């Protein structure tokens, strides 16, 4: 992989149905972004790409399940802004020492959610 000649926003895809829409909206704002599946994003890949920001997409998994998708830990130490959407927010909270809990009756997918 060659180092890009422009600033890059990286979208790490955890299986969201709207990842392409997120990228399209960013591109409409003249932001260069690349989508890469989480299993292809390694420490070496991040070091070479050197993104200026990262978005963790949503996805159908649960951070409470053993073996659920995770970004490489080096994503948190790059010193760049990270936006987590849905699953991406949960994985970020879980990885950084926060607590993720299931909603009442396991209905956390929809409705009001309290984040502290």
| Number of domains observed in the structure of the chain | 1
Task: Give the model's pLDDT for residue 113.
Answer: 67
Q: Examine residue 4 and state whether it is found in any structural domain, yes or no.
A: no
| Contact criterion met (CB below 8 Å) for 39 and 70 | no
Q: Examine residue 100 and state whether it is found in any structural domain, yes or no.
A: yes
Q: Examine residue 114 and state whether it is found in any structural domain, yes or no.
A: no
CA atoms in the 13 A half-sphere facing the CB of 64:
7
10-residue block means of pLDDT along the chain (116 residues)? Answer: 74 95 96 97 96 96 91 96 95 93 63 67
Q: Examine residue 95 and state whether it is found in any structural domain, yes or no.
A: yes
CATH number of 32's domain: 3.40.50.880
| Cross-strand pairs, 55 | 11, 83
| Cross-strand pairs, 83 | 55
Q: Domain range spanning residue 58?
A: 9-106
Task: Give the model's pLDDT for residue 102.
Answer: 74
Q: Examine residue 115 and state whether it is found in any structural domain, yes or no.
A: no
Tell me which DSSP letter residue 22 carries.
H
Q: Examine residue 112 and state whether it is found in any structural domain, yes or no.
A: no
């Amino acid at each position: 992989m060659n180092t890009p000649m422009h600033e890059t926003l990286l979208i790490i895809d955890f299986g969201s149905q709207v990842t392409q829409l997120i990228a399209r909206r960013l591109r409409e704002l003249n932001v260069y972004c690349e989508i890469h599946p989480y299993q292809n994003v390694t420490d070496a890949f991040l070091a070479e790409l050197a993104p200026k920001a990262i978005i963790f997409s949503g996805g159908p998994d649960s951070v409470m399940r053993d073996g659920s998708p995770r970004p490489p830990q080096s994503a948190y130490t790059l010193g760049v802004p990270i936006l987590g959407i849905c699953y991406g927010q949960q994985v970020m909270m879980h990885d950084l020492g926060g607590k993720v809990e299931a909603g009442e009756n396991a209905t956390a997918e929809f409705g009001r959610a309290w984040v502290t």
